[in-house]
Amino acid sequence: MSRADTVGIVGAGRFGTALGSVLARANRRVILWSRDAAVVDSIQTKRTSPRLPDAPLPASLSATTDPRMLAAEARFLVMAVSSTNVRDRARELGDYLDGSHIVVHAVGALATPNNERVSEVVGEGLPTLKIGVLAGPALPADLVAGEYASMVIASNFEEVVAEGRRLLNAPPVLRVYSSKDLAGVELASALAGAYTLALGLCDGLGMGVGPRAVLVTRIVAEASRLCVASSGKERTFAGLAGLGNMLVRATERSADYALGRRLAEGVLTADTQRTEGARAAVAGAALAKTLRVRMPVLTGVAAVIDGTLDPREAALLIGDTVAVEE
C-alpha cells in the first residue's frame, strides 16, 4: 500500500495496539512505533503484544523503533501516548516529519504543567499544521473483541477530518464521525475521563440511581461551561467525545472508574494520579480556576485525588451545590 494509505500509530500501548489491530483486520497497512525494543520484537516475531496479548495482529500490521521509518512510510499518524509523554514524543517526531504529514492525537487529558490542550503541545513540537484529535467511547477490549465502537475526529482543517474518516473507519467494529470543534472535542475527551472517575466515586459511595442521574446532568452543564470558556461549543460535551465516552467507560473495565471506586473505599495510594482521568481532573480544575469557571463537581473530584478532601465530604459538598444550582 502507498504512504498515503498507511496509518502510523505513535505508541504501542493498549489503545494504540487495539486500534492498529482493528485497522489491520480491515485491510489497512499499519505501522506501530514504540521506543520499547522488546515490545517491537514481540510484535514482529511472535505476532503478539505484551501490552495487549489478546489482540490479533495481522500481517499488515508491523512495528518499529525507528521514527524516521515511521515518518517515511506513513503520512497519517495517530498519537496514542500518555499525556505525560506527548510533549517529548512530539519533539522527537518533529525531527522527521514535514508539512505534508497529518497528525491526530488520542490523548484523553490535558498536557501539564500548563494545562494546555494536547493539540497545542503537539503543534509546538511538529512542523505540520494539520493536527486533530480522535476521541470517543472506544475501549481497547471492545475493539479487540470486535464490539461496536464509535469515535469522533475533529480539526480546524477539513483535510484532517476527511483523511481521518477515510483511513480510520472500519465498520462494523469502528465508525468515525466528524466535528469542526477541535477545542471542544479535546476538552470533552479529557473531562470524560475525569467525570468517569466521579461516577466511580458516586457508585462506590452507594449514592443511588436518583442522585447519580442528577450528577450526570450537572456534569454535562459544568463541562459545557468550560468548553465554551476554552473556545469550544456548548453542545460538544453532550456528544460522543464527552457524555458518550463517559457512559461507556463507567464500568470496572475502565481504570478511571475503578480508581473512583477505590477512592470511595478510602484507598489512597502513591499511584492515585496515574490514570489519565485523574490527571485530567486535577488539570481541568486548575484550568477552570484560571478561566474563572464554576465547576463544583470537577473541583471536588480533584480535591479527593489530591487528598485534601474526604470522598464522603466531597459527595456532600457536590450534592449541596447541585441542589443550590438546580
CATH fold label, 3-180: Rossmann fold (3.40.50)
pTM across the whole model: 0.92
Q: Alpha-carbon distance 163 to 125, whole Å?
A: 22
Extended strands (E) in the chain = 6-10, 29-33, 61-64, 76-79, 102-105, 131-135, 149-155, 174-179
How does pLDDT run along the chain (326 residues), one tens digit per residue? 799 999 999 999 999 999 999 999 999 999 999 999 999 999 999 999 999 999 999 999 999 999 999 999 999 999 999 999 999 999 999 999 999 999 999 999 998 888 899 999 999 999 999 999 999 999 999 999 999 999 999 999 999 999 999 999 999 999 999 999 999 999 999 999 999 999 998 899 888 888 889 899 999 999 999 999 999 999 999 999 999 999 999 988 899 999 999 888 876 654 555 799 999 999 999 999 999 999 999 999 999 988 888 887 877 666 555 544 54
Domain span(s) for CATH 1.10.1040.10 in the chain: 183-325
- CATH code: domain 183-325 is 1.10.1040.10
Looking at the chain, the domain(s) classified CATH 3.40.50.720 span: 3-180
Distances (CA, A) of 148 to 26, 141, 237, 287: 14, 11, 21, 34
